Structure 1
Amino acid sequence: MKIATYNVNGVNGRLPVLLRWLNESAPDIACLQELKAPQEKFPLQAIEDAGYNVIWHGQKSWNGVAILSKRGMPQEVRRTLPGDPEDVHSRYMEAEIDNVLIGCLYLPNGNPAPGPKLDYKMGWFRRLTDHAKGLLTQDKPVILTGDFNVMPTELDVYKPEKWVNDALFLPEVREAFSNLVAQGWTDAIRTLYPDEKIYTFWDYFRDAYGRNAGLRIDHFLLSPQVSGRLKAAGVDRHVRGWEKSSDHAPVWIELADK
């Protein structure tokens, strides 16, 4: 089973890129973030024509997540992160596909920091950590994937000294990610490539992609019930170089059959 995550940075504006990548990479499951489209404007027909069943949670102009599947219709479990009924941002969706529970997430950016946006990010992180702890007690294969908006270590960022005051690299943000992983999750990319510089995002400015001045902020976290099935993982870096592409590249893992 091949599972991918991709922050598309606007599903309608980047639709040709998304469809090209789906055709080339052919993941069994794809989690998308930053749809930037209201529920009724999601390009359902184009996604279905590409061979995918899909559930999505849209939001006008911002956020938005979706789960695509070639292995039947995703069985939706939830479309909000518990813990704050007043949070209406479309940032989390959870579904079961082929006996694997998939959580697709778009964690808040948090900038400018300090300030209300960082406070919201840290609160969201605490809610995610609480929910993830509960998922681990269910004794089933669980995957949390998406844009976490955090570089866990200095290896995950080009010139880390330039990011010390950024909400994606603040000590408390990195500690929150570390505490989440310490519950018993496996960071798929780092498990297979413990010492390599691997990036998933390159800014549009200053030729960041051409200089490989990137960040690793899109992650796969695997529960113990599925981590032993991890066969391969990677980043489709070349997609970032396509015309009118997102500033993120797709990230993927491959799992052995049970």
Structure 2
Amino acid sequence: MKIATFNVNGINGRLAVLLRWLEEARPDVVCLQELKAADARFPIRAVEQAGYGALWHGQKSWNGVAILARGREPVLIRRGLPGETEDRQARYIEAAVEGMVIACLYLPNGNPAPGPKFTYKQRWFARLVAHAAELKALDVPVVLAGDYNVMPTELDVYRPERWTDDALFRPEVRAAFHALTAQGWTDALRTLHPDERLYTFWDYVRRAFERDAGLRLDHLLLSPSLAPRLVAAGVDRAVRGWDKASDHAPAWIELTPARSRRPRRKSE
């Protein structure tokens, strides 16, 4: 099974990019972030014509997350991250797909830091860590996929010395990510690419993509029962170079029930 995460940076404005990638990559499950569309504006007809069932949690002009499943309908578990009932930002959706729990998340950016946006990011991250612990305790296969807006290590950022005070790289945020993985979640891309500078985001300015001045912001974390089934992981970086592309590229993993195969590495 191939599972991907893709910050589309506006699903309607970049629908052609999304549909082309779905046709070429044929992922079984996709987590989308930054829909930037109210629920009624989600392009469900085009997604269904591409062969996918979908669930989404939209918000006008900002945020928004969705889960797509090829040839099947994902079953909704929850919309919204628990912990703050007054939080109305559309940043989390959770569904059951083929015996797995798929959690799609879009963690706040948090800039400028310090400040109210950074405080909100810290609270949101703490809520995610708490909910992830509850999911792990269920002892079911779980994937936590999405745009975490954090570079966990210096290997995940071009010229890390320039990002020291940024909300994406501050020690508090990196510590929160490591607290999450310390629960027993496996960072799939880093596990199969331990020494590579593997990026998923390149800014639109200063020819960042052409210079490969990127960041690894998009992560797929696997629960303990899924980690042995990880056989491949990569980034479809060529998508970032398409016309009218998002500033993110899709990141993906492949899982298999068989445990006899040795993991292979792949980066496109």
User: TM exceeds 0.5?
Assistant: yes
- 1:83–1:127 contact (8 Å) kept in structure 2: yes
- Residue 188 of structure 2: aligned partner: 188
RMSD between aligned residues: 0.6
In the alignment, what sits opposite 2:264? none
String of CA shifts for 1:193-214, please: whole Å, max 9, x gaps. 1011000000000000000000
User: Does 2:56 correspond to 1:56?
Assistant: yes
TM-superposition CA deviations, 1:120-174 (whole Å, max 9, x none) = 0000000000000000100100000000000000000000000001000000000
Distance 2:257 2:92 in 1: 26
Q: Percent identity?
A: 66
**Aligned position for 2:125:** 125
- Matched residue of 2:127: which SS? helix
Partner SS state of residue 168, structure 1 = coil
Q: Structure 2 CA distance, aligned partners of 1:88 and 1:68?
A: 22
List structure 1 segments (4+ residues) > 4 angstroms apart after TM superposition. none
Cα distance in 1 between the residues matched to 2:162 and 2:8? 26
TM-score, normalised via structure 1 length: 0.99
CA distance in 1, matches of 2:70, 2:216: 27
Do 1:106 and 1:147's aligned partners in 2 also have CA atoms closer than 8 Å? yes
1:72-83 counterparts in 2 under 5 A? 72-83=72-83
Indicate if the aligned counterparts of 1:71 and 1:98 stay in contact, CA closer than 8 A. no
What is the rounded CA distance, in whole Å, between the counterparts of 1:16 and 1:257 in structure 2?
A: 33
Counterpart for residue 25 of structure 2: 25
Which structure 2 residues correspond to residues 221-240 of structure 1 after superposition, within 5 A?
A: 221-240=221-240
Whole-Å separation in 2 of the counterparts to 1:113 and 1:162: 15
Q: How many positions carry a matched residue from both structures?
A: 258
Query: Aligned residue for 2:84?
Result: 84
What is the one-letter code of the residue matched to 1:253?
A: I
Deviation at 1:257, TM superposition (A): 2.8
**Structure 2 CA distance, aligned partners of 1:177 and 1:227?**
18
In the other structure, the counterpart of 2:216 is 216
In structure 2, the partner of 1:207 is 207
Q: Does 1:116 align with 2:135?
A: no
Query: AA paired with 1:35?
Result: L
Separation in structure 2 between the aligned mates of residue 9 and residue 149 of structure 1, nearest angstrom: 14
Q: Does 1:162 align with 2:162?
A: yes
Q: 2 CA distance for matches of 1:71 and 1:124?
A: 33
Q: Which residue in 1 is equivalent to 2:9?
A: 9
Q: Secondary structure at the match of 1:224?
A: coil
Could you tell me how far apart the structure 1 residues matched to 2:23 and 2:177 are? 33
Q: Is the 8 A contact 2:94 2:104 kept in 1?
A: yes
Tell me, in whole angstroms, the C-alpha distance in 2 between the residues paired with 1:165 and 1:80: 29
The question of whether the paired residues in 2 share the 8 Å contact of 1:107 and 1:125 is answered with yes
SS in structure 2 of the partner of residue 202 of structure 1: coil
What residue number does 2:43 align with?
A: 43
1:71–1:97 Cα contact (<8 Å) kept:
no
Q: Hey, what does 2:107 align to over in structure 1?
A: 107
Q: Does 1:179 align with 2:179?
A: yes
Would the aligned equivalents of 2:51 and 2:71 in 1 still touch at CA under 8 Å?
Answer: no
Give the equivalent residue in structure 1 for 2:95.
95
2:142 matches 1:142: yes
Residue 53 (structure 1) shift: 0.4
Looking at structure 2, the residues matched to 197 and 72 of structure 1 have their Cα atoms a distance apart, in angstroms, of 35
Deviation at 1:71, TM superposition (A): 4.5
Q: Deviations over 1:171-190 (max 9, x none)?
A: 00000000011000000001
Aligned to 1:70: 70
SS of the residue corresponding to residue 119 of structure 2 reads helix
